[in-house]
Amino acid sequence: MGPADALGAHNLNPFASIWLHRRLVGRLAARTLAARWRGSLLGPLWTLATPLATLAIYGFAFGTVLRSRISTASGEDSAAPYALQLFCGLLFVHLFAESVHAAPGLIRANIVYVRQIVFPVEILPVVGVVCALCGAVVSMVVLILAQLVMDGPPHATALWLPVLAVPVALFALGAAWSLAAIGVYLRDLAQVVGLGCTAILLTSTVFYAIDAVPEGMRTLVRMNPATTIVDAARTTLFDGNSPALLPLAIVTAVGLAFAWLGYVVFMRARAGFADVA
pLDDT for residue 70: 65
Burial class (CB in 10 A: 0-12, 13-18, 19+), 177: buried
Q: What is the pLDDT of residue 4?
A: 39
Please tell me the distance from the alpha carbon of residue 183 to that of residue 87, in angstroms, as a whole number.
Answer: 31
Amino acid at 165: A
**Helix, strand or coil for residue 70?**
coil
Quick one: pLDDT at residue 248?
95
Element (H, E) at 259: helix 245-269
Averaged pLDDT in 10-residue chunks for the chain of 277 residues: 42 86 94 81 72 76 63 52 86 94 90 81 94 92 89 90 96 96 87 90 87 86 93 91 94 96 93 72
Residue ranges covered by each domain of the chain: 3-276
Q: How far apart are CA 269 and CA 264, in angstroms?
A: 9
